[in-house]
Structure 1
């Protein structure tokens, strides 16, 4: 084995992109002949992630660890939890890796895990932040107070900090005077052939119209109301298309009701949660993403990497992806008119965009590969 890496999960979600990132990073590190260990909570919602990590060849260690979602006082509780920090330090010492990487998710997450890893003093420590969540911190509950505590914490705990996009790095560094330079490592992704049955669509969708789609969780962050309003705006401008929403979540009921009340009949469809949502990518003409905020969304990389033209809002990571894909268009602002106009332009140029995707798909996949991500992560941790 080349190097031994310990990855520590933020233990945040049973469906989140952060843990899926760990799956991809594990696979990339294994392709580089690294030995991968992963520290996970014993919480039941982490069981499936443990199974998937083991399938990819990781040595999974389960400990009774609290994640941020389990703490009423959030990060304030985590930074004073000496017992958990000592437990993490002990695990790090037992595994004795060449480097430790904590999947922090955002600036308030995983601070106890980072502190415990640093306390172990067995290897260089890194943390990866997907979405800094600092741009509007002052507008949230006790935002200024939280910011003061966090600034002190980050100054006291210098380590190799990785951001997943250039805009995320800029957002973080605009807020914090970090003791050392941060680094950017764009995500890598899998682009293997989709081997699933053809997805089912409404029988009345026989007429060949462009299909605009989104795949993911129906949560407020994804701002699907904007996508629907923009799509409805295109219909008012005389553009005929269909809307396909792949997934489920707490916003589904509201979105379903709104579409029933405002959209023409037989022009939209919600699939519900899918075990293999990637199967639906094959029927999309345009992938649409209207998120309020992101880091570098894996779902968009997967869609663009499969040659699907995309229209997105200007969230963090959008420019990193569009830089490598002429078939990804970024709307000038987050209004129904602006996003809708970008959709219309993309539909009108669909043949050209698909040709650009065909021409550039191989280079895109090479850049957003698992091996490139894993290799750059080793460099960022200082053990390449």
Structure 2
């Protein structure tokens, strides 16, 4: 990239970029921010990352190991809170004026809305926003939808460009008249295909078993797994409903859910009510969870709203057949009955049926594995970075 195109008046100084993301708990947006921060810090950019809500998430731990500035914004929270949101707005203005970035790159709906306006007030000329699943595709009340729609349309006027992680999100922006099509670029999430490592199946299963020593799983059980925040959008109540139906047919089916979140108590109660404690396990956060993917016979993504799932791409790379809900960008990863199986969101009956079908049909699992490994190659980190760098290089 030519620095002259980004800031022709400061040719001999490193380019400054500020990423803003609401949470540091590891997930898709955090993976995305870290991968970009890591690459551009290695290429002599001055990289700064502002994180809201918590200071102990995996994103912080990883950023501390690279040459990146870290700023904590305690008022920037995931949930709407008028007082905190007002303070967060002014915090972003102050931070932008302090570090004077050439580019502000926003991630998540809340930081995308307030961050764009705040950054422009602070005098930032280039403001980009990555849509990791469009907020209006969530289950929202009418009034919340109208509020978010107004916020998206108003803040769009302060954004130079939108990056969508799926064609689905691009269509959603256009459908809701958020911005013009020439302000949107679709760039699929990417993973480091050359360096990603997975534990062998037996080793991965032994290590996951160590997390549940009082119960333990047999190496001959069917392992059905997912990696997800325990949030409503991830549809985990429907996965547990599907597990209930699956276990009635295949008692050796064991469901392993990796992740933490606000829905944990609700999920635990559902597991207890259905007496599924010997078949469904909430494992909590697991460091570098993707390395355990080969432990699973089947990977399930039960989301009711999704951007472009890193875990689904990683599961394909690991050669694990998947069943996913046809939401967000998932149909752009999974071609039904070729590289995986798609079902309608919230349809736990169909989800359970498809899991049972794959358990009982080893040939189908092997076919999906072969096709999905090849399909995953188009989601390369190198391509994602190159295409994002082109957006950074656009004129403000």
Give the match for residue 256 of structure 1. 268
1:374 is displaced (CA, Å) by: 0.8
* Per-residue Cα deviation, 1:160-188 (whole angstroms, up to 9, x for no partner): 11111111222222112414431211111
2:106 maps to which of 97, 102, 110: 102
Give the match for residue 178 of structure 1. 179
Give the match for residue 67 of structure 1. 76
Structure 1: distance between partners of 2:335 and 2:119: 35
1:24 is displaced (CA, Å) by: 1.9
Verify the 8 A CA contact 1:243 1:267 in the aligned structure 2. Answer: yes
In structure 2, the CA distance between the partners of 1:142 and 1:249, relative to structure 1 (3 Å rule), is closer
* Per-residue Cα deviation, 1:33-74 (whole angstroms, up to 9, x for no partner): 46251232586526753441242x443152657414486228
Verify the 8 A CA contact 1:199 1:279 in the aligned structure 2. Answer: no
1:223 is displaced (CA, Å) by: 1.8
Say which SS state the counterpart of residue 188 (structure 2) adopts. coil
Verify the 8 A CA contact 1:89 1:117 in the aligned structure 2. Answer: yes
Verify the 8 A CA contact 2:136 2:148 in the aligned structure 1. Answer: no
Give the match for residue 94 of structure 2. 87
1:286 maps to which of 298, 301, 307: 298
1:341 is displaced (CA, Å) by: 1.7
Say which SS state the counterpart of residue 136 (structure 2) adopts. coil
Structure 2 length-normalised TM? 0.79
1:251 is displaced (CA, Å) by: 2.9
Structure 2: distance between partners of 1:44 and 1:235: 38
In structure 2, the CA distance between the partners of 1:240 and 1:6, relative to structure 1 (3 Å rule), is same
Verify the 8 A CA contact 2:94 2:122 in the aligned structure 1. Answer: no
Give the match for residue 357 of structure 1. 369
Unaligned runs of 5+ in 2: 4-14
* Per-residue Cα deviation, 1:72-127 (whole angstroms, up to 9, x for no partner): 22897379x4x44542442453x4x4x44222x12x43333223444555653311
In structure 2, the CA distance between the partners of 1:301 and 1:34, relative to structure 1 (3 Å rule), is farther
Q: What are the residue-to-residue correspondences of 1:281-360 with 2, within 5 Å?
A: 281-323=293-335, 326-358=338-370, 360=372
Verify the 8 A CA contact 2:37 2:68 in the aligned structure 1. Answer: no
Verify the 8 A CA contact 1:137 1:144 in the aligned structure 2. Answer: no
Q: What are the residue-to-residue correspondences of 1:17-32 with 2, within 5 Å?
A: 17-29=28-40
Verify the 8 A CA contact 1:11 1:67 in the aligned structure 2. Answer: yes
Compute the RMSD of aligned alpha carbons: 3.5
In structure 2, the CA distance between the partners of 1:367 and 1:30, relative to structure 1 (3 Å rule), is farther
1:40 maps to which of 21, 42, 50: 50
Give the match for residue 147 of structure 1. 149
Structure 1: distance between partners of 2:264 and 2:254: 18
In structure 2, the CA distance between the partners of 1:172 and 1:256, relative to structure 1 (3 Å rule), is same
1:277 is displaced (CA, Å) by: 2.6
- Confirm or deny that 1:53 pairs with 2:55: no
Unaligned runs of 5+ in 1: none
Give the match for residue 217 of structure 1. 229
2:197 maps to which of 193, 205, 212: 193
